């Protein structure tokens, strides 16, 4: 009874009034534009306890209550700070008083000797993505501000490779973040403005001492921005998204498009499309290096036929058609052996296919070297697939050693979904809001 009374009192006095109401006004245009009202899926709020995430939580609570949406706040304890557990407990207590569900996610991995910041960032996104998937959510709210954009630009000027956060973007981790999107509804607001609103409302937040460590590029960028500076408007994706209508998906997650369509596009669009297509067709997580990508795009804009490899993908350019597919040699070099498929569990194979087995005793691996074990019907279908593409098709193997290829014909024992085209659509900005998740790519793929 006491807890319920505390929560009710806190909600009446803090939510929808004063500071929280002002924060909600700042976030509402973005939330209204990107999210679906009265959807059954909850929204995930990444809550660190810092000022930006506290402001986001208060704003999101007001919007979600009005829109009939559930909220789940998640706090990641990396176990890198002695106070991390106490910070997480504070976040949980705040959420309890607000009437918001909360979950603490703990990084159980061993911190690396080098690249700790990048490893912790990836671990954080993976933990949040896994929690979102388990909750049935498709959108993760993060409290990045205009300062985060400016800091990213300054860090790049120092030689860093950090990307600039956008208002709406796919989850940065793969394959854990498949079909998940990040929304940053406060990305156009300066951090100082948010904290002033919090102060006026009597709110408190955590100041992580790591943010003051000038050995770190982001801390130096924050100091450089302390005296002001205005953020430019949200950087829009290039017109690479327009090229998506020319791209066709194949049975092995291969992608193809007319070479003339690429030649007609603007240079930035060419680079955007090819960079994303290489990453998606390879099923990998590391984008191609800038100089190698630039050379490949320049060759594709010419007329000469050629074949090349980049970041785990094979690019074949003929007179009329460009095909981008998985490089089978990279599968072998990565030691990709047979992946067991537990019945009823959906797994991602080679970063390109999501496979759910409906029968026991199955595994999947590349078809290379196993095509002779296919039945006559599958072999006929295989003849219609380009030779290089055939090798990277997913082959289903049962306990007797029999081989089938679900990409060539339905197999009632599995459900197979190619992730390549939906990932490409997300990367190029063709999925602009929550309602379009899972819908745009399918429409494009069948048009």
The CATH number of the domain where 10 resides is what?
3.40.50.620
User: What are the tokens at 265?
Assistant: 């596009």
**Predicted local distance difference test score (pLDDT) of residue 145:** 96
Q: Please state, in angstroms and rounded to a whole number, the distance separating the CA atoms of residues 308 and 296.
A: 8
- The reply to whether 231 falls in a domain is no
Q: Can you say whether residue 187 is alpha, beta or left, with left for phi > 0 and alpha for psi between -120 and 50 degrees?
A: alpha
Neighbours of 26 (CB within 10 A): 18
Q: Please state, in angstroms and rounded to a whole number, the distance separating the CA atoms of residues 386 and 59.
A: 52
Q: What is the pLDDT of residues 41-56, one digit of tens each?
A: 999 999 999 999 999 9
Residues 53 and 71 in one domain: yes
Residues 78 and 21 in one domain: yes
Q: How confident is the model at residue 111 (pLDDT cuts 50, 70, 90)?
A: confident
Judge whether residue 318 has pLDDT over 80. Answer: yes
Residues 255 and 378 in one domain: no
DSSP state of 345: -
User: What are the tokens at 233?
Assistant: 């408007």
Q: Which residue has the higher pLDDT, 116 or 2?
A: 116
**Predicted local distance difference test score (pLDDT) of residue 210:** 59
Mean pLDDT of 83-109: 94
Q: Is 254 in contact with 323 (CB distance < 8 Å)?
A: yes
**Predicted local distance difference test score (pLDDT) of residue 237:** 54
Residues 350 and 256 in one domain: no
- Print the domain residue range for 258: 240-330+422-446
**Predicted local distance difference test score (pLDDT) of residue 155:** 67
Residues 247 and 144 in one domain: no
Q: Is 71 in contact with 175 (CB distance < 8 Å)?
A: no
- The reply to whether 232 falls in a domain is no
Give the residue from 140, 136, 144, 188 showing the smallest Cα distance to 163. 144
Residues 155 and 304 in one domain: no
- The reply to whether 302 falls in a domain is yes
Q: Please state, in angstroms and rounded to a whole number, the distance separating the CA atoms of residues 123 and 394.
A: 28
Handedness of CA 432, 439, 62, 129 (dihedral sign): negative
Q: Is 420 in contact with 247 (CB distance < 8 Å)?
A: no
- The reply to whether 61 falls in a domain is yes
User: What are the tokens at 325?
Assistant: 């597919």
**Predicted local distance difference test score (pLDDT) of residue 11:** 43
Neighbours of 295 (CB within 10 A): 12
SS3 51: helix
**Predicted local distance difference test score (pLDDT) of residue 16:** 44
To which residue do tokens 């939906």 refer? 422
- The reply to whether 234 falls in a domain is no
User: What are the tokens at 209?
Assistant: 């001492």
Judge whether residue 335 has pLDDT over 90. Answer: no
Judge whether residue 26 has pLDDT over 90. Answer: yes
Mean pLDDT across the chain, nearest whole number?
Answer: 87
Mean pLDDT of 144-156: 85
**Domain count across the chain:** 3
Q: Is 141 in contact with 185 (CB distance < 8 Å)?
A: yes
Residues 274 and 213 in one domain: no
Residues 130 and 189 in one domain: yes
Residues 24 and 151 in one domain: yes
Residues 246 and 165 in one domain: no
DSSP state of 322: E
Residues 430 and 412 in one domain: no
Q: Is 337 in contact with 363 (CB distance < 8 Å)?
A: no
SS3 content of the chain, % helix, strand, coil (to 5): 45, 15, 40
**Among 114-118, 323-327, 395-399, which stretch is predicted with the lowest mean pLDDT?**
114-118
List C-alpha distances in Å: 413 to 336, 355, 406.
22, 10, 9
Residues 213 and 274 in one domain: no
DSSP state of 228: -
* 413: exposed, middle or buried (Cβ count in 10 Å: 0-12, 13-18, 19+): middle
Neighbours of 335 (CB within 10 A): 6
List C-alpha distances in Å: 36 to 66, 69, 136.
12, 9, 15
Q: Please state, in angstroms and rounded to a whole number, the distance separating the CA atoms of residues 2 and 211.
A: 37
Judge whether residue 329 has pLDDT over 90. Answer: no
**Predicted local distance difference test score (pLDDT) of residue 110:** 79
**Among 47-51, 289-293, 311-315, 373-377, which stretch is predicted with the lowest mean pLDDT?**
289-293
Q: Which residue has the higher pLDDT, 234 or 342?
A: 342
- The reply to whether 354 falls in a domain is yes
Judge whether residue 324 has pLDDT over 50. Answer: yes
Judge whether residue 442 has pLDDT over 70. Answer: no
DSSP state of 210: G
Q: What is the pLDDT of residues 171-217, one digit of tens each?
A: 999 999 999 999 999 999 999 999 999 999 999 999 866 554 444 55
- The reply to whether 21 falls in a domain is yes
Q: Which residues on neighbouring strands pair with residue 349, listed in sequence order?
A: 353
Q: How confident is the model at residue 18 (pLDDT cuts 50, 70, 90)?
A: confident
Beta strands in 329-376 (DSSP E): 339-341, 346-349, 353-357, 362-366
Judge whether residue 107 has pLDDT over 70. Answer: yes
- The reply to whether 235 falls in a domain is no
Highest mean pLDDT, choosing among 76-80, 118-122, 350-354, 427-431: 350-354
Per DSSP bridges, beta strands 71-77 and 101-106 are parallel
């Amino acid at each position: 009874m006491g807890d319920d009374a505390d929560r009710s009192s806190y909600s009446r006095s803090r939510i929808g009034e004063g500071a929280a109401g002002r924060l909600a006004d700042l976030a509402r245009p973005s939330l209204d534009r990107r999210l679906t009202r009265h959807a059954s899926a909850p929204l995930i709020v990444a809550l660190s306890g810092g000022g930006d995430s506290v402001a986001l939580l208060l704003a999101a609570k007001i919007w979600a209550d009005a829109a009939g949406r559930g909220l789940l706040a998640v706090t990641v304890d990396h176990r890198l700070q002695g106070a991390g557990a106490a910070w997480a407990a504070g976040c949980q207590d705040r959420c309890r008083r607000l009437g918001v569900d909360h979950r603490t996610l703990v990084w159980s991995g061993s911190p690396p000797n080098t690249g700790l910041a990048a490893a912790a960032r990836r671990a954080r996104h993976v933990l949040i993505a896994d929690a979102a998937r388990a909750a049935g959510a498709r959108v993760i709210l993060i409290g990045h501000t205009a300062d985060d954009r400016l800091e990213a630009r300054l860090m790049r000027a120092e030689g860093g490779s950090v990307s600039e956060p956008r208002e709406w973007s796919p989850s940065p981790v793969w394959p854990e973040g498949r079909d998940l999107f990040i929304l940053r509804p406060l990305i156009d607001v300066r951090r100082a403005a948010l904290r002033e609103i919090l102060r006026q409302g009597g709110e408190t937040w955590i100041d992580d001492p790591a943010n003051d460590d000038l050995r770190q590029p982001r801390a130096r960028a924050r100091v450089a921005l302390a005296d002001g500076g205005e953020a430019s408007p949200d950087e829009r994706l290039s017109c690479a998204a327009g090229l998506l209508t020319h791209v066709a998906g194949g049975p092995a997650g291969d992608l193809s498009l007319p070479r003339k369509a690429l030649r007609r596009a603007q240079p930035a669009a060419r680079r955007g499309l090819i960079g994303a297509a290489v990453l998606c067709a390879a099923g990998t997580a590391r984008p191609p290096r800038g100089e190698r990508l630039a050379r490949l795009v320049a060759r594709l804009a010419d007329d000469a036929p050629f074949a090349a490899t980049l970041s785990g993908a094979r690019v074949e350019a003929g007179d009329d058609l460009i095909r981008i597919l998985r490089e089978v040699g990279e599968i072998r070099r990565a030691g990709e052996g047979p992946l067991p498929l537990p019945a009823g569990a959906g797994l991602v194979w080679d970063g390109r296919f999501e496979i759910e087995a409906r029968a026991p005793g199955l595994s999947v691996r590349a078809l290379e070297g196993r095509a002779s074990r296919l039945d006559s019907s599958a072999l006929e279908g295989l003849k219609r697939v380009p030779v290089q593409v055939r090798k990277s098709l997913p082959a289903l193997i049962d306990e007797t050693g029999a081989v089938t290829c679900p990409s060539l014909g339905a197999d009632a024992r599995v459900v197979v979904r190619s992730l390549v085209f939906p990932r490409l659509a997300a990367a190029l900005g063709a999925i602009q809001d929550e309602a379009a998740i899972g819908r745009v790519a399918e429409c494009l793929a069948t048009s």
